[in-house]
Amino acid sequence: MRTADWQDYELIDTSGGERLERWGDVLLIRPDPQIIWETPRKDPRWKQAGARYIRSSSGGGHWEILRGVPPVWNIGWQGMTFRLKTMGFKHTGIFPEQAVNWQYAMEKIRAAHRPVSVLNLFGYTGAASLACAKAGAKVCHVDASKGMVQWAKENAAASGLSDRPVRWLVDDCMKFVQREQRRGHRYDAVIMDPPSYGRGPGGEVWKLEEQLYALVQMCIPILSEQPLFFLLNSYTTGLSPAVMEYLLGVMLQPRFGGQVSAGEIGLRVSSTGRSLPCGSTAIAEF
Helix H or strand E encompassing 168: strand 166-170
- Per-residue DSSP letter, 58: T
Find, among 55, 70, 134, 73, the residue nearest to 99 by Cα.
134
Distance separating alpha carbons of residues 268 and 86, to the nearest angstrom: 22
Per-position pLDDT tens, the chain of length 286 = 999 999 999 999 999 999 999 999 999 999 999 999 999 999 999 999 999 999 988 788 999 999 989 999 999 999 999 999 999 889 999 999 999 999 999 999 999 999 999 999 999 999 999 999 999 999 999 999 999 999 999 999 999 999 999 999 999 999 999 999 999 999 999 999 998 887 766 777 767 888 899 999 999 999 999 999 999 999 998 899 999 999 999 999 999 999 999 999 999 999 999 999 999 999 999 9
Q: Please state, in angstroms and rounded to a whole number, the distance separating the CA atoms of residues 122 and 112.
A: 24
Give the containing element (helix H, strand E) for 136.
none
Please answer whether residues 158 and 82 qualify as being in contact, where contact means their C-beta atoms are separated by less than 8 angstroms: yes
pLDDT score for 200: 66
Pairing of strands 51-55, 61-65: antiparallel
State the chain's mean pLDDT as an integer: 95
Per-residue pLDDT reduced to its tens digit, 218-235: 999 999 999 999 999 999
In 3-state terms, what secondary structure has residue 89?
helix
Q: What is the pLDDT of residues 162-175, one digit of tens each?
A: 999 999 999 999 99
For 45, the 3-state DSSP assignment is helix
How many other CB atoms sit within 10 Å of the CB of residue 101? 23
